[in-house]
C-alpha cells in the first residue's frame, strides 16, 4: 500500500451538469502532486486542493520546454462503479516520454494508486452520461531555475481531473480535415513519439489557420518527403482502401497511441486485414478518384474514433464515404464505448476499477 495523505479542499466547486462539447473547461476539486530531487528521487506524494503552481521564472519548463503529459479516461457505468481504461499503458507511455526528454520515470504502482484514490475522492465529478468521461491528465515539468541548457535536477508531477464531453463540436460525426504541406508536427529524429508539450506548440499555427478556413483538424505529413501520412490533429490515422485497412507504422515522429493499439487488437480479433504500412497522400487522392477510398478515421483518447468526412489537399477537396461515418469506424466506436460502459466483454482486461 502507498501512503498518500489527503488535504481536502475547504469549499467544493459546482459540478457542471451539461458538458456537451466541453473538453478541459472544468477541473475537479483536488489534484495529486509529488516532487523529484536529484539524489533523493520522488518524494512527498500527496493529494491537495486543485490550484496553481509556483515556478521559478527560469525553470526548465518555462525556458526550455521540459514538459510532458499523458491523458487517459475513466467512465461511470450504469451500476455507479467507475473504471479506468488502460491506465497502466498510459503510465508506461508517460515514462517513455520522460526518457526522451531526460526526465525521471515515475513508479507505475504509486501513480495508479494515486489515480484511483484521486478519482474516488472526486467521484461526484465523473459524469454518468454515456460518451462523457473523467479525463485524467498526468503532467511532469522541470522546475529547477537556471540558464544553462541541460536537464533540470528537480521536477513536479501532477494528476488532475476534468469532466469532459465530445472533443470535437461534431461529436462522433465526420470532421473536415486540411492536409498541411508547409509545416510538420514533428521532425524525423526528434521527439515526435513523446507526448511532449513542444510537439503540440508546433501544431498551433497551422491548427489556427485550418480552423479559420472551416476545418476541424490538420492531417500531418512526414517531415522528409512531405507525402506520407503521419497523424491527424492529436490522433493516429487509419484508412480503408480497396478493402484493406492501413495505418502508418510507428516511428520517432509518430505518437504510439493507446487507442491505436486497442483498435488494432480489436480489428485483428475480428479477422480484419490490417497493415501497418506507409500511406502516400497521392495514393489516398487517387483512390478517392477511383472510388476505392472507403473510409478514413482518426483514433485517440480524446475523441476515441473520429471519422474523416472531407479532406482538402492543395487545390483539391475529396469527400470520404459520402461524408458519412463508415461501417468500420462505426463498429470500432460502438465497441470501444461499450468497453468503456461495461456493456461488452473486456476480453483483453483493459478496464481497471477505481473502487
Instruction: Give pLDDT tens digits for 165-174.
Output: 877 655 568 9
Percentage of the chain surpassing pLDDT 70? 98
The structure's pTM equals 0.96
Domains and CATH numbers, the chain: 30-165 (3.30.470.10), 175-341 (3.20.10.10)
Average pLDDT, the chain: 96
Instruction: Place 338 in a pLDDT band, splitting at 50, 70 and 90.
Output: very high
pLDDT tens digits along 188-217: 999 999 999 999 999 999 999 999 999 999
Does the pLDDT at position 21 exceed 90? no
E strands of the chain, at which residues? 30-37, 41-49, 67-76, 82-85, 133-142, 154-164, 175-180, 217-221, 229-232, 235-241, 244-247, 274-276, 293-300, 304-313, 316-319, 351-353
Closest CA to 219 of 277, 178, 183: 178
Amino acid at each position: 500500500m502507498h501512503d498518500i495523505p489527503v488535504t481536502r479542499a475547504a469549499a467544493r466547486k459546482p459540478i457542471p451538469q451539461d458538458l456537451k462539447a466541453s473538453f478541459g473547461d472544468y477541473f475537479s476539486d483536488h489534484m495529486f502532486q509529488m516532487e523529484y530531487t536529484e539524489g533523493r528521487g520522488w518524494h512527498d506524494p500527496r493529494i491537495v486542493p486543485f490550484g496553481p503552481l509556483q515556478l521559478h521564472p527560469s525553470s526548465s519548463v518555462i525556458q526550455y520546454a521540459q514538459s510532458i503529459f499523458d491523458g487517459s479516461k475513466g467512465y461511470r457505468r450504469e451500476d455507479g462503479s467507475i473504471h479506468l481504461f488502460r491506465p497502466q499503458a498510459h503510465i508506461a507511455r508517460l515514462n517513455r516520454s520522460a526518457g526522451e526528454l531526460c526526465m525521471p520515470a515515475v513508479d507505475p504502482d504509486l501513480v495508479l494508486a494515486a489515480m484511483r484514490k484521486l478519482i474516488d475522492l472526486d467521484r461526484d465529478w465523473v459524469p454518468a452520461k454515456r460518451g462523457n468521461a473523467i479525463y485524467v491528465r498526468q503532467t511532469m515539468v522541470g522546475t529547477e531555475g537556471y540558464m544553462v541548457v541541460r536537464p533540470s535536477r528537480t521536477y513536479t508531477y501532477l494528476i488532475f481531473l476534468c469532466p469532459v464531453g465530445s472533443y470535437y463540436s461534431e461529436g462522433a460525426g465526420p470532421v473536415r480535415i486540411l492536409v498541411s504541406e508547409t509545416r510538420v508536427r514533428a521532425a524525423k529524429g526528434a521527439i515526435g513519439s513523446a507526448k511532449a508539450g513542444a510537439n503540440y506548440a508546433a501544431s498551433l499555427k497551422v491548427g489556427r489557420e485550418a480552423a479559420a478556413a472551416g476545418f476541424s483538424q490538420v492531417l500531418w505529413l512526414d517531415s522528409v518527403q512531405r507525402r506520407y501520412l503521419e497523424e491527424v490533429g492529436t490522433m493516429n490515422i487509419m484508412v480503408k482502401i480497396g478493402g484493406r485497412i492501413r495505418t502508418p507504422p510507428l516511428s520517432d515522429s509518430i505518437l504510439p497511441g493507446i487507442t491505436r493499439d486497442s483498435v488494432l487488437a480489436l480489428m485483428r480479433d475480428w479477422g480484419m486485414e490490417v497493415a501497418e504500412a506507409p500511406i502516400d497522400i497521392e495514393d489516398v487522392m487517387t483512390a478517392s478518384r477511383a472510388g476505392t477510398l472507403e473510409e478514413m478515421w482518426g483514433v485517440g483518447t480524446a475523441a476515441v474514433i473520429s471519422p474523416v468526412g472531407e479532406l482538402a489537399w492543395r487545390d483539391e477537396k475529396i469527400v470520404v464515404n459520402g461524408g458519412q461515418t463508415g461501417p468500420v469506424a462505426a463498429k470500432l466506436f460502438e465497441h470501444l464505448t461499450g468497453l468503456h460502459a461495461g456493456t461488452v466483454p473486456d476480453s483483453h482486461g483493459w478496464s481497471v476499477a477505481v473502487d
